[in-house]
Amino acid sequence: MTLSIHNYATLTDEECDALIVKAKAQLGERCVILGHHYQRNEVFKHADFSGDSLKLSKDAAQSTAEYIVFCGVHFMAEVADILSRPEQIAILPDLAAGCSMADMANLMKVQQSWNELAQVLDVENEVTPVTYINSAADLKAFCGEHGGIVCTSSNAQKILEWSFARREKVLFFPDQHLGRNTAYRMGIGLDEMVVWNFTKPMGGLTIEQIKNAKMILWDGFCSVHQMFKPEHIDNYLAQYPETKVIVHPECCFEVCQKADYVGSTEFILKTVRAAEAGTRWLVGTELNLVNRLSEECTDKNVQFMSPMLCMCSTMFRTDPQHLAWILDNLVAGHVVNQISVPEKDALLAKEALNAMLTVV
């Protein structure tokens, strides 16, 4: 009999901790728990591997585990399913753990935009579709089908270089900020970039704007990183001018321009950890990661950039109660919340993912 989540909803975190530890011991090497950097500490502490979404999927695929429990969000579990071996099963503790950015671009909207661009351009020969890994599997499949590719925040520049070597233009989705910040660092001017508003015909652009653009940026963003503002940096530096500012490239252009360093979560962790003792850092990324980094780097002063609370609310949905429920069901021989990408999408998405892995 499958155990119900309702039996776990009223348990305390401490009670769930005991159940998780017990279930992990019973499952042994049959199960691996992946914890994304943005995950809450109550769950993160139980992870066998931690990191960003691509690193975690690769770790899981290389393991001998039968079950991959991804404490992250939906698109991450999809990537784990695509990259893992056929006999491995990817599981998401809470199916409601999505990504607001990923939801801003769906296959219907992207296909419609591609068709509209085809009225102006020879899209198959002029435009490379590039999707950020923070997207649904069917969008990765779309890129695979149309000679496109996937990127991460750490390899976006190399991916764009590959893309421009093949075709004149890039359609970049779903995060406009990663696309803009990366392209600008490559020497592409802001006047060569346009934002495609998927709610308007032809993206709200003129034929001339489309023809002149090198980067066609999807009108999407991360709800966490858009909270950081240039004035947050200005106000902090006015008080502590010696501060080094480091931010994620999902932040807006103005914030990234004011930062001393811009890079992925792994880059942020590596940079601050390697910094000299006594240095002060203002960090613009998700709160749970910054708090853990501050607790770890006690020889430095690590501060969260925004005066407001900025955590990934969808990532936060994965709690000890859901993790205990998932693991107890596995002990009982039941798989719940399996994430399985349809074979056609998986094959095409893997083409786009493998293209990325070949480039980097």
CATH H-level, domain 225-304: superfamily = NadA-like (3.40.50.10800)
Lowest model confidence (mean pLDDT) among 79-83, 103-107, 282-286, 307-311: 307-311
pLDDT class for 311, splitting at 50, 70, 90? low
Q: Is the pLDDT of residue 313 over 70?
A: no
The arithmetic mean of pLDDT across residues 148-157, rounded, is: 96
CATH H-level, domain 5-97+314-342: superfamily = NadA-like (3.40.50.10800)
pLDDT class for 223, splitting at 50, 70, 90? confident
Task: Measure the CA angle with vertex 226, ends 225 and 229; round to 5°.
Answer: 100
- Alpha-carbon separation of residue 359 from 158, 162, 310 (angstroms): 7, 7, 33
Nearest to residue 93, comparing CAs of 322, 333, 324?
Answer: 322
The larger pLDDT score, comparing residue 62 to residue 290, is at 290
The reply to whether the predicted model has a pTM over 0.85 is yes
CATH of 102-222, one of 3.40.50, 3.30.450, 1.20.1280, 2.20.25: 3.40.50
**Which amino acid, residue 78?**
E
Give me the percent of the chain exceeding a pLDDT of 90. 86
Domain ranges of the chain: 5-97+314-342, 102-222, 225-304
The arithmetic mean of pLDDT across residues 71-87, rounded, is: 93
Q: What is the pLDDT of residues 15-59, one digit of tens each?
A: 999 999 999 999 999 999 999 888 889 999 999 999 887 787 788
Give me the percent of the chain exceeding a pLDDT of 70. 98
Q: What is the pLDDT of residues 252-305, one digit of tens each?
A: 999 999 999 999 999 999 999 999 999 999 999 999 899 999 999 999 999 999
The arithmetic mean of pLDDT across residues 195-222, rounded, is: 97
The arithmetic mean of pLDDT across residues 159-165, rounded, is: 98
